[in-house]
């Protein structure tokens, strides 16, 4: 069942969800929020599109396979953890260069991983039916 109201609302709210998810990612560096919550909100934008239109439309909007996002996110998070070792510090010690530090990069990796995991599960379940 395709609803014109849901499709119109999705087109309106999808960008807002994505911008809000980035706000949560960046805010989580100093306050509650971060990569996990931001990733859930970003994934919800694509889930909403899959519900309003179809999974193929959500996959086209995403432009990358969700399973690839999992690998990319894990690689980014792991790389950020090893930056401190390269600096001669203990594993996962925060290292900053100006306002950007390894905790923010780690959160970005978690964000991408969460988006990939949620969408892999949801898209897989939606395509099964």
Instruction: Domain ranges for the chain, please list them.
Output: 4-128
For 42-51, what is each residue's pLDDT tens digit? 999 999 999 9
Reply yes or no on whether the pLDDT at 1 is more than 70: no
Counts for the chain of helices (H) and strands (E), in that order = 5, 2
**pLDDT at res. 75:** 98
68-77 burial code (b ≥16 CB/10 A, e <16): ebbebbeebb
18 CA to centre of own chain: 9
Beta carbons of 34 and 28 less than 8 angstroms apart? yes
| pLDDT confidence tier of residue 29, bands split at 50, 70 and 90 | low
Cα distance between residue 53 and residue 120, in whole Å: 17
Q: What is the mean pLDDT of the chain?
A: 93
Reply yes or no on whether the pLDDT at 110 is more than 90: yes
**pLDDT at res. 24:** 94
pTM value? 0.92
For 81-92, what is each residue's pLDDT tens digit? 899 999 999 998
Place of tokens 């925060």: 94
């Amino acid at each position: 069942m395709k609803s014109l109201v849901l499709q119109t609302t999705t087109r309106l709210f999808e960008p807002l969800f994505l911008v809000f998810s980035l706000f949560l990612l960046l805010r989580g560096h100093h306050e509650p929020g971060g990569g996990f919550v931001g990733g859930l909100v970003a994934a919800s934008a694509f889930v909403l599109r899959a519900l309003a239109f179809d999974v193929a439309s959500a996959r086209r909007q995403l432009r990358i396979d969700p399973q690839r996002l999992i690998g990319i996110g894990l690689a980014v998070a792991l790389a950020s953890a090893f930056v401190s070792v390269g600096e001669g510090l203990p594993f996962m010690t925060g290292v900053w260069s100006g306002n950007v530090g390894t905790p923010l990069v780690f959160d970005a990796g978690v964000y991408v991983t969460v988006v990939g995991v949620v969408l892999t599960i949801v898209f897989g379940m939606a395509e099964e039916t």
